[in-house]
Amino acid sequence: MNQEPTYQFTGQTNFYRGKVRDVYTIGEDLLVMVASNRISAFDVVLPRPIPGKGQVLNQIAEHFLKATEDIVPNWRIATPDPQVTVGHKAEPFKVEMVIRGYLAGHAARTYNSGVRELCGVALPEGMKENDAFEEPIITPATKASHGDHDEDISREEIINQGIVSESDYTQLESYTRELFKRGTEMAAERGLILVDTKYEFGKLSNGTIVLIDEIHTPDSSRYFYSQGYAQRQKSGAAQLQLSKEFVREWLMENGFQGKENQKVPVMTDEFVQLVSSRYCELFEKITGNVFQPASTKNAEFRIKNNIEKYLVSAL
């Protein structure tokens, strides 16, 4: 992927292009994160951008960061553009705090293979896929030493290997449970079930632990519809999901799972528009707000101008 920055800002000291976000470091302790319209699946950036996607993810994250700042301080300072968040630079902890309220996704695949332990957490017998755990379980993940795939890891391994100190990890666990509880309550108000999600944390230069990156978006979380959940579980039917899972399903139906020598199927105009409209629906369902798309005319100029205006006022 091209690592050349789209923009150059006064005071810019670093740039990083992720799969879907461009991150600019300003000075020593300020980050400007631009949520692009790129979309990834199976660790691959798909060839066509999705109109509105960057705005949807950025504004969902803003919605939940504001709604949880009484639980844990977060990195966000301002949102000068619908696709942009400006915030504090933090040193990330090298673990993702994954929390699961239900036996779904990776946890279900592990369970169905006969394994009854995940990240050091014992899994009870007699569960069906998408059943609720008695209490949410935390199943941390760390980045592999090679590649971008996450690897399961236990609490004990994290502490014993010195990845995170015991005192810091205990705090991360506490924050994770409180955030998930708040997210579960907010989802219930919208007729949704927050199934599982991940949180990322970092530490500011003064030692304060903060929540970083996105939170409770459809790219980082799995939601079920509450209505009909019990009946579907009883009958063995698949649960109705609210996430970008439909994109993965379309790719699999068309012979792509990110494996070697597989080609991404052609994304037609109709499919791109379908994905765009689904993301807009996700925004409205999750937040309860009407999605108001920003103008796409001269979008790059708009983003650059809004960032520069903010930086002039802030620095």
Domain ranges, ordered by start, for the chain: 12-91+267-314, 94-217
Query: In which residue ranges of the chain is pLDDT below 50?
Result: 145-147
Question: How confident is the model at residue 73, as a pLDDT?
Answer: 97
Q: What is the 3-state secondary structure (H, E, C) of the chain?
A: CCCCCCCCCCCEEEEEECCCEEEEEECCCEEEEEECCCCEECCEECCCCCCCHHHHHHHHHHHHHHHHCCCCCECEEEEEECCEEEEECCEECCCEEEEEEECCHHHHHHHHCCCCEECCEECCCCCCCCCEEEEEEECCEEECCCCCCEEECCHHHHHHCCCCCHHHHHHHHHHHHHHHHHHHHHHHHCCEEEEEEEEEEEECCCCCEEEECCCCCCCCEEEEECCCHHHHHHHCCCCCEECCHHHHHHHHHCCCCCCCCCCCCCCCHHHHHHHHHHHHHHHHHHHCCCCCCCCCCCHHHHHHHHHHHHHHHHC
Could you report the per-residue pLDDT of 111-137, keeping only the tens digit for each? Answer: 999 999 999 999 999 999 999 999 999
CATH superfamily of 94-217: ATP-grasp fold, B domain (3.30.470.20)
pLDDT in tens, 133-165: 999 999 999 965 444 567 899 999 999 999 999
pTM of the model: 0.91
The architecture in CATH of the region 12-91+267-314 reads 2-Layer Sandwich (3.30)
Please report the pLDDT score of residue 146 as a whole number: 43
What was the pLDDT predicted at 148?
A: 52
Q: Residue 184: count other Cβ atoms within 10 Å of its Cβ.
A: 18
